Amino acid sequence: MNDFFDARVRTTDASDTQAWLQAHYGRVDLLADRAAIAEHAVGDAGFALRRLTWACRAEIAYEADRFFFATSGPGLAWRIGSCAGDYSVEPGLVQPGQELSGRPNQTEVDLLTFDAAWLTEAARTMYGDDELEVRFDGTGPVSRRMRDYWLATMRWALTQTPLLAEPLVRAQVRRSLAAATLETFPLAGDPRERRASAIEQASVYTSATSWIDDHASLPVTIDDAARAVGTSAKGLRRAFLANGHLASTPEDYLSQARLSAAHADLIAADPSCSSVAVIAARWGFADVAAFERAYREMHRVTPAETLNR
């Protein structure tokens, strides 16, 4: 995604505060003559992290158009239909189409938002179910242990906000938050089936990376790797999307494995008896220029510099 944003806003005038809040958070009634807010929002079309500081008391009514997951300091009571709580006591969620009634009062709120279509695709990838529709049965975490896990993931993600302009960092943070959220909150359906599917995909990923590492020196393809671990090429790609941290596709992982092997050969080689082109060809890189670009991107030096050390 290339629609990254990093936006900050601060208001100190009550009328400006009212106007901004209504533009972004639905119907808002300020309950004081003096009111200020500050928000820092970072993300893209798929997700966003928002820290909103309310230096005021207010009543809000917000109809969600995406998934919202929130935690706060003392001072944010909420109601959704017949359910009620306080985000300082327990993190909670608002689903698309639901209306949240809230009473923020001199508090700070951390919000994680997901586009519904993006979160659905992430869940389908994670659980290997192309028919899965994301809907939650409840407003809070499934257990105290999972609550603590989600809060820890949020704290870590917020420390990464200065780096989120980098697409790879953002993808990793987005994926980690999605996985923590889908596991923490009560997703509708049979959790045992989803867990079995997620475990199976993790097993496919682990087996495939081991097989690729062992066969990287041979003229193997991704179809070969898929057959070796008992899945299809599509299934293998899904397992990498769900579990790959260093590479999100099996093709990228195979390329990285070969680059790492070439790096080891360059270090061990005698420059008077070998060359970059020979070592590149040994590991399947027929285009020496392409090999040099990929090698430099991974190791920050040229292959010739490594060979001639």
Q: Which domains does the chain have, with CATH numbers?
A: 1-189 (2.60.120.10), 190-309 (1.10.10.60)
Asked whether the CA dihedral 19, 21, 25, 26 is positive or negative, the reply is: negative
Whether residue 307 contacts residue 274, with contact meaning beta carbons closer than 8 Å, is answered with yes
Buried b (16+ CB within 10 A) or exposed e, 22-33: eeebbebebeee
Beta-carbon contacts of residue 87 (< 8 Å; ≥ 6 apart): 70, 71, 72, 76, 78, 109
Q: What is the average pLDDT score of the chain?
A: 90
User: What's the distance, CA 169 to chain centroid?
Assistant: 9
259, amino acid identity: L
pLDDT at 2: 63
Nearest to 307 by CA among 257, 213, 246, 291: 291
Q: How far apart are CA 123 and CA 137, in angstroms?
A: 15
pLDDT at 200: 81
Residue-wise pLDDT tens digits, 70-86: 999 998 999 999 999 99
Whether residue 90 contacts residue 73, with contact meaning beta carbons closer than 8 Å, is answered with no
73, amino acid identity: G
Q: Does pTM surpass 0.85?
A: no
What are the CA-CA distances from residue 248 to residues 3, 196, 251 (Å)? Answer: 20, 21, 9
Percent pLDDT > 70 in the chain is 99
Regions of the chain with pLDDT less than 70: 1-2
pLDDT at 68: 96
- DSSP designation for 141: -
Q: How far apart are CA 159 and CA 133, in angstroms?
A: 31
Whether residue 158 contacts residue 51, with contact meaning beta carbons closer than 8 Å, is answered with yes
Enter the tokens of residue 57. Answer: 């008391």
